[in-house]
Structure 1
Amino acid sequence: MLCLTGDVMTGRGVDQILPAAGDPRLWERYVASAQNYVALAEAASGTIPKPVDYSWPWGDALQVLDEFAPDLRIVNLETSVTSSDDVQPAKAVTYRMHPGNVRCLTAARLDACALANNHVLDFGVGGLEETLDVLTRERLAPVGAGRGAQQAWRPVALTAGGHRVLVWSAGSASSGIPRSWAAGPERPGVAFLSEASDADADALCERVRRAKQPGDIAVVSVHWGSNWGYDVPRAQVRFAHRLIDSGVDVVHGHSSHHPRPVEVYRDRLVLYGCGDLINDYEGIPGEERFRGDLRLLYVAMLDPVGGLDQLRMVPLQSRQMRLRRAAVEDARWLHRVLRKASRGLGSQIDLAPDASLLLRR
Structure 2
Amino acid sequence: MSPTRRTVLATGLAGLGGCLGTASESQADCPLSVDTTARHRLGFVGDVMLGRGVDARWDDRVPTGVWGDVTERLRALDGLFLNLECCVSARGQRHPGRGYYFRAGPAWAVPALTGVGTSWAGLANNHLLDFGPVALADTLDHLADGEIPTAGAGPTRQAAFEPALVTVGDLEVAVVALTDQAPLYAARANSPGAAYVPLDPDNPLTRQWVGGALERARETDPDLVVASLHWGPNWDVDPSATQQAFAHWLVDHGVDVVHGHSAHVIQGVEVYRGRPIVYDAGDFVDDYLVKPDLHNDRSLLFELVVDDGTLRVLELVPVEIVDSSVTLADDEAAAWLRDRMRQISAPFDSTFTRAGAGLRLALSC
- Please confirm whether the aligned pair reaches a TM-score higher than 0.5, indicating the same fold: yes
CA distance in 1: counterparts of 2:332 and 2:284, whole angstroms: 19
The counterpart of 1:211, out of the listed 210, 214, 217, is 217
The counterpart of 1:360, out of the listed 340, 359, 362, is 362
The counterpart of 1:90, out of the listed 63, 75, 97, is 97
Aligned to 1:131: 139
CA distance in 2: counterparts of 1:83 and 1:327, whole angstroms: 35
Conserved? CA contact 2:303–2:314, under 8 Å:
yes
The counterpart of 1:104, out of the listed 97, 109, 112, is 112
Overall identity of the aligned pairs, in %: 35
Conserved? CA contact 1:335–1:349, under 8 Å:
no
CA distance in 2: counterparts of 1:246 and 1:97, whole angstroms: 36
Aligned to 1:335: 338
Superposed counterparts of 1:135-284, under 5 Å: 135-173=143-181, 177=182, 179-196=183-200, 197-203=202-208, 204-213=210-219, 216-281=223-288, 284=289
Secondary structure of the residue that 2:260 maps to in structure 1?
strand
CA distance in 2: counterparts of 1:252 and 1:107, whole angstroms: 22
Aligned to 1:347: 350
1:275-303 Cα distance to aligned partner (Å, 9 max, x none): 0001012xx35x21111222211101135
Aligned to 1:294: 298
Query: How far is 1:157 from its partner?
Result: 0.7
Comparing 128-137 with 200-209, greater Cα deviation is found at 200-209
CA distance in 1: counterparts of 2:245 and 2:266, whole angstroms: 20
Aligned to 2:53: 13
Conserved? CA contact 2:74–2:117, under 8 Å:
no
Conserved? CA contact 1:181–1:190, under 8 Å:
yes
Conserved? CA contact 2:286–2:325, under 8 Å:
no
- Letter paired with 2:191: R
Taking structure 1 as the reference length, what is the TM-score of the superposition? 0.84
Aligned to 2:326: 323
Query: How far is 1:215 from its partner?
Result: 5.4
- Letter paired with 1:195: L
Does residue 2 (structure 1) correspond to residue 42 (structure 2)? The answer is: yes
Do the aligned partners of residues 293 and 181 (structure 1) sit closer, same or farther apart at CA in structure 2, a change above 3 Å counting? closer
Aligned to 2:17: none
Secondary structure of the residue that 1:192 maps to in structure 2?
coil
Greater relative contact order (CA < 8 Å, ≥ 6 in sequence) = 2
Conserved? CA contact 1:201–1:239, under 8 Å:
no
Conserved? CA contact 1:106–1:138, under 8 Å:
yes
Query: How far is 1:304 from its partner?
Result: 4.8
Secondary structure of the residue that 2:177 maps to in structure 1?
strand
Query: How far is 1:205 from its partner?
Result: 2.7
Query: How far is 1:3 from its partner?
Result: 0.6
Aligned to 1:32: none
Unaligned ranges ≥5, structure 2: 1-40
Query: How far is 1:328 from its partner?
Result: 2.2
CA distance in 1: counterparts of 2:142 and 2:320, whole angstroms: 29
Conserved? CA contact 2:334–2:357, under 8 Å:
yes
Secondary structure of the residue that 1:248 maps to in structure 2?
coil
Secondary structure of the residue that 2:293 maps to in structure 1?
helix
Comparing 217-226 with 322-331, greater Cα deviation is found at 322-331
CA distance in 2: counterparts of 1:350 and 1:273, whole angstroms: 20
Does residue 71 (structure 1) correspond to residue 83 (structure 2)? The answer is: no
Conserved? CA contact 1:332–1:351, under 8 Å:
no
CA distance in 2: counterparts of 1:265 and 1:163, whole angstroms: 22
1:293-331 Cα distance to aligned partner (Å, 9 max, x none): 2221110113555x5311111111222222222122321
Secondary structure of the residue that 1:121 maps to in structure 2?
coil
- Letter paired with 1:152: A
Conserved? CA contact 1:201–1:242, under 8 Å:
no
Query: How far is 1:76 from its partner?
Result: 0.2
Query: How far is 1:70 from its partner?
Result: 2.5
User: Moved runs in structure 1, 4+ residues, more than 6 A?
Assistant: none
CA distance in 2: counterparts of 1:85 and 1:247, whole angstroms: 38
Secondary structure of the residue that 2:346 maps to in structure 1?
helix
Total equivalences in the alignment: 319
- Letter paired with 1:299: E
